Amino acid sequence: MRLGLFMMPLHPPERPMHETLAEDTEKSLLADRLGFDELWVGEHFSASSEPIPSPLMFMAALAPRTKRLTFATGVINLPNHHPAIVAAEVAQFDHMTGGRFILGIGPGGLASDFELFACTDPIARGKRMVEAIDIIQRIWAQGRPPYDIAGPTWSARIVEAVMPEFGVGTMPVPFQRPHPPIAITARSVDSFGVKMAAQRGWGVVSANFVTTRVVAGHWNTLQKALAENGKQASGADWRVARNLCIAATEEEAHARVFDAAGSNRYYFHYLSTLARRAGQLATLKPSAETPDEAVTLEQIIADCVIWGSPQTVLEKLVAFREQVGPFGHLLMAGLDWSGPNAAWEQETMRRLAEEVMPRFRQHVAATEGKQRAAE
């Protein structure tokens, strides 16, 4: 059971970009000091509330300042990029970190980015994502020119301008061979991304802004898709992101989660408002039959945030894993540090790493040991 930090990141839109970048850097370095295993950073081009257009650039500045973190894009939205650029930049980053890298990919999730890159149709975005990762992997697999790779949207062609004696025309390949681990995000119950991951041997990242029933749906979909591809289901490469708040007492944690100034409340107010406007509120409903007008912010927070004392959070994590499936990685969602939230989240990170995760790992190991013995 590995522990990671997942940052979109999400901040109030009026905060200066240099200020939030410094804050997200400080949070990432704290995660490394506390023993977190992974750092996932999102990509958005057109939202001052989600202000990192280049997660690779952000994480490259962290690489020489960290000791243990594995870096991951959460995610590179492939329909927005020429695949040859992604292939080259990811290869460079993988070398810069000595292989401390996971390539997280997805079709995108921000409407203004869809408009910016003129790809508003969800089916077209899905097709572009598949096309892009196919071209990227072909570039890496080939290794040397000439390249003559074409798809419906993009091409990667270097045939004439090749000088092998000087390396001209040669695309970089990753440090990890044949390539870094690939993971794809999942949001809907019957996720296309989960099915694709099962077919191609990728990891799955269940978003933190979905209800418990949706996360359980990801495991059911993964099991079925793996079986159809002749593979045995395993949660080893399944990452589940969740918002957490840990305090000395359950009452104190509850007050922080529902506080009007709390970042958890802002986080889900922001995401539910965008989802409601886009007609995508289904993944935040406790029941698929719940009408949109009956969905409240308080209900969403209650289902999507795990809070309490260290003992209570441990018990909730155990129950959550039993309910949704045997995920092998827990990703804590990173929040904004405005007002009292810096102290609150730093306490959550420390208590999660030092008090909750050692016991959670013991529980998971013991449970899986009993299952193996029974088999």
CA angle 79-48-32, nearest 5°?
85
Kindly indicate the confidence band of residue 372, based on its pLDDT and cuts at 50, 70 and 90. Answer: confident
In the prediction, which pLDDT does 334 show? Answer: 98
Residue 65 is classified by DSSP as G
CATH number at residue 329: 3.20.20.30
In the chain, the percentage of residues whose pLDDT exceeds 70 is 100
Distance CA 363, CA 373 (A): 15
Tell me the three state secondary structure of residue 213.
Answer: helix
DSSP H helices in 47-101:
55-62, 83-96
Asked if residue 82 is part of any domain, the answer here is no
pLDDT mean across residues, the chain: 97
- pLDDT per residue over 84-137, tens digit each? 999 999 999 999 999 999 999 999 999 999 999 999 999 999 999 999 999 999
Asked if residue 280 is part of any domain, the answer here is no
Question: What's the number of domains the chain is made of?
Answer: 1
Q: Indicate the burial class of 181 (C-beta count within 10 angstroms; 0-12, 13-18, 19 or more).
A: middle
Residue 187 near residue 283 (C-beta atoms within 8 A)? yes
Asked if residue 194 is part of any domain, the answer here is yes
Asked if residue 233 is part of any domain, the answer here is yes
Read out DSSP for 322-341?
A: HHH---SEEEEEP---TTTH
Distance CA 105, CA 182 (A): 7
Residue 184 near residue 197 (C-beta atoms within 8 A)? yes
Exposure string over 155-176, b if 16+ CB within 10 A, otherwise e: ebebeeeeeeeeeebebbbbbb
Residue 40 near residue 103 (C-beta atoms within 8 A)? no
Tell me the three state secondary structure of residue 317.
Answer: helix
- pLDDT per residue over 213-260, tens digit each? 999 999 999 999 999 989 988 999 999 999 999 999 999 999 999 999
- Determine which helix (DSSP H) or strand (DSSP E) holds 374, and give its type and residue range: helix 357-374
Asked if residue 189 is part of any domain, the answer here is yes
Asked if residue 100 is part of any domain, the answer here is no
Domain range for 325 = 2-74+181-244+310-339
Q: Say if residue 374's pLDDT is above 90.
A: no
Kindly indicate the confidence band of residue 273, based on its pLDDT and cuts at 50, 70 and 90. Answer: very high
